[in-house]
Amino acid sequence: MSATLSYDQVSVGDELPPLDIPLTTTLIVGTALASRDYTPVHHDKAVAQGQGMGDVFMNILTTNGFVGRYVTDWAGSDAIVKNVAIKLGAPNLPGDTMKMRGKVESKSDDTVVVSVVGKNNWGDHVTGTVKLALPR
């Protein structure tokens, strides 16, 4: 993690460095179980296929964690996450890559709003915003 950015170091329009996350079965199953999400479609391929999916797919808790990690890796350890608002789209399946991208959308007081998109070969897996408090 980098040193924490200050509020004054960030400008509207700044782009966050890209983060590409290879999606493996181990990652999808392990993170679902680690977040205590035992829903079978996240760890049992036959059940996922029975629900019309080609394989197990990532749970929302993991997606939310990756969104938070992406923004805080950029902002630094003294940044305070005030709000995360995400919407899921295309599923994340093994063998694909989630490509995280972000941009500073606005600033007011000590709060910075970052828009985040995580895309895979199907389209947008996650879209949303993260509000951060950055030190002056």
What CA–CA distance (Å, rounded) separates 92 from 70?
16
Q: Measured on CA atoms in the order 81, 29, 16, 87, is the torsion positive or negative?
A: negative
The per-residue pLDDT for range 10-49, each reduced to its tens digit, is: 999 999 999 999 999 999 999 999 999 999 999 999 999 9
CB 112 within 8 A of CB 63: no
The per-residue pLDDT for range 40-88, each reduced to its tens digit, is: 999 999 999 999 999 999 999 999 999 999 999 999 999 999 999 999 9
CB 48 within 8 A of CB 57: yes
Query: 1 falls in which pLDDT band (50, 70, 90)?
Result: very low
Write out the two tokens for 68: 């938070």
What CA–CA distance (Å, rounded) separates 3 from 76?
5
So what's the pLDDT on residue 2?
58
The per-residue pLDDT for range 76-135, each reduced to its tens digit, is: 999 999 999 999 999 999 999 999 999 999 999 889 999 999 999 999 999 999 999 999
So what's the pLDDT on residue 102?
98
Which residue segments constitute the domains of the chain, with CATH numbers given?
7-133 (3.10.129.10)
